[in-house]
Amino acid sequence: MTGSFEGAVALVTGAASGMGLATAKAFAEAGASVALADVHESAVRSAADGLISAGHKAIAVRCDVADEQEVASMIGRTVAAFGRLDAAFNNAGVQSPAVETADASGEEFDRVNAINLRGVWNCMKYELRRMREQGTGAIVNCSSIGGLIGIPGRATYHASKHGVIGLTKSAALEYASRGIRINAICPGTIDTPMVAAMLAKEPEAMKDILKDQPIGRLGRAEEIASAVLWLCSPGASFVIGHSLAVDGGYTIR
Ligand SMILES: NC(=O)c1ccc[n+]([C@@H]2O[C@H](COP(=O)([O-])OP(=O)(O)OC[C@H]3O[C@@H](n4cnc5c(N)ncnc54)[C@H](O)[C@@H]3O)[C@@H](O)[C@H]2O)c1
């Protein structure tokens, strides 16, 4: 995806690593000014510094997306730095170890949903306050193949990612006629630090993962970035409330 985002302002959460970092870079290379937000302060600062030293416009914002006040201030800082907000990728999220539902912990359920689901809700709320003033904008929320299907042992994570699709569809209907498009992306298994951490704990999982990939390999963070940029671009002007699987064919069987 190469369309131009010259003059546009993009915000990416979870931008210190993986798909968030790849998407922040892709927006910057397409000409956007980018706010990179992450709970991991030193990592997000060094990600933003990398873009700035490559000649792009970027700021780093330390933000825990589960905290509504921090999210409000993240949007405030983005608009203070760059004057507007055209595109947002609400990507920050965490995995949860596989566990049988009867043995799952309530604290873990609350932790994961506070980041993956409430975090997306927090971000959309304040992004939309800005975008409805402008009368334009595009939001992409990060769901997962875990938002489309079930997998044994993954109920906590999958609940959060199914929830993201519900938020996306209802909010998309509210803003469809007001110049703001809201969609979700559903990545398959992508080669990022999150998956590397999961495989470190469950090393036998890689054989099973690869067996289930019709394309025969894991996805790359840049392949998600490309889809996110398209969803935020005028090329997707009639795409609203959609949950786009970018999964090497995983969910088509
Ligand atoms: N990697 C995959 O296979 C895969 C598949 C489907 C969906 N996803 C989703 O994609 C998103 C990005 O995943 P990734 O694989 O790039 O992971 P990653 O772990 O490489 O990056 C996630 C980033 O989010 C940040 N983060 C975590 N909690 C945060 C919080 N509370 N506030 C702000 N930032 C926070 C982390 O510091 C990290 O920089 C997540 O929502 C994840 O659930 C990943």
What is the set of active-site residues?
A: 157
How high is the mean pLDDT of the chain?
96
Q: Which atom of ligand 1 is nearest to the CA of 64?
A: 32
Q: Is 243 in the pocket of ligand 1 (CB under 6 A)?
A: no
What is the reported pLDDT for 207? 83
Residue 185 has pLDDT above 60, yes or no: yes
2 pLDDT more than 70:
no
- Report pLDDT for 210: 86
Give percent of the chain above pLDDT 70. Answer: 99
- Mean pLDDT of the 33-45 span: 98
**Domains in the chain: ranges and CATH:** 9-190+220-243 (3.40.50.720)
Ligand 1, atom 14, lies closest to the CA of 18
| Ligand 1 geometric centre to CA of 55 (Å) | 26
Report pLDDT digits (tens) over 227-248.
999 999 999 999 999 999 999 9
Long-range contacts of 21-25 (CB under 8 A, 24+ apart): 21/47, 21/221, 22/220, 22/221, 22/222, 22/224, 22/225, 23/89, 23/91, 23/221, 23/224, 23/225, 23/228, 23/229, 24/51, 24/58, 25/51, 25/225
- Residue 177 C-alpha to ligand 1 middle, in angstroms? 31
Bridge-partner residues for 245, per DSSP?
186
Q: Would you say residue 153 has pLDDT above 90? A: yes
Mutate to test the pocket of ligand 1, among 11, 13, 19, 89 (most ligand atoms within 8 A of CB): 19
Ligand 1, residue 116: give the atom nearest the CA.
41
* Ligand 1 and 172: CB distance under 6 A: no
Looking at ligand 1, which atom is closest to the CA of residue 195?
A: 1
pLDDT given for residue 149 in this prediction: 97
pLDDT at residue 1 above 60?
no
Say what the pLDDT of residue 202 is: 80
Distance 161 CA to ligand 1 centre (A): 12
Sheet holding 180-187, edge to edge: 58-62, 33-38, 9-13, 87-90, 137-142, 180-187, 243-246
How does residue 208 score in pLDDT terms, banded at 50, 70 and 90? confident
Best mutation site among 91, 143, 194, 222 for ligand 1 pocket (most ligand atoms within 8 Å of CB): 194
Confidence of residue 203 (pLDDT cuts 50, 70, 90): confident
Q: What is the pLDDT of residues 72-130, one digit of tens each?
A: 999 999 999 999 999 999 999 999 999 999 999 999 999 999 999 999 999 999 999 99
